[in-house]
Amino acid sequence: MNIDNYQLGEELDSFNYQQVQEDILAILERGCSAVLDMTACKYVSSTGLRVLLYSKKVAASKGLKLYLVGMSDEVKDIMEVTGFDSFFDSFKTMEECLENVK
């Protein structure tokens, strides 16, 4: 399985969602599953959640996966409150992710 990493910035919101979505979709278009490194991300808005969900749906439609790595406590709280945590495979570290997906 081909996997490519994508590093998110400090926030995923209405100011940067288009670029993030384009970058993730480019990974998926190459036929690679995507690992989103969220270690720097401290905030995900509702727009950002839509980007994650849409990207997961696109990945699934191509037989690919979307993994989340290194979510901060703040982002974990957002994901849990919205119920989005149940939609994604998430891991604490990149090493843990790569061990589990290969």
Q: What is the pLDDT of residues 63-100, one digit of tens each?
A: 999 999 999 999 999 999 999 999 999 999 999 999 99
Structure token pair of residue 79: 């994901």
Task: Compute CA 58 distance to the chain's CA centroid, rounded to the nearest angstrom.
Answer: 12
> Which sequence spans correspond to the domains of the chain?
3-97
3 state SS of 62: coil
Q: Which of 86, 82, 81, 78 is nearest to 38 (CA)?
A: 78
Q: Given the structure tokens 């994901």, which residue do they identify?
A: 79
Name which CATH class applies to 3-97: alpha beta
Residues 6+ apart with CB under 8 A from 37: 5, 6, 7, 8, 69, 70, 94
Query: Is the pLDDT higher at 102 or at 17?
Result: 17
Lowest mean pLDDT among 1-5, 22-26, 73-77: 1-5
Q: What is the mean pLDDT of residues 29-40?
A: 97
Average pLDDT value for the chain: 96
Model confidence at 102, pLDDT cuts 50, 70, 90, reads confident
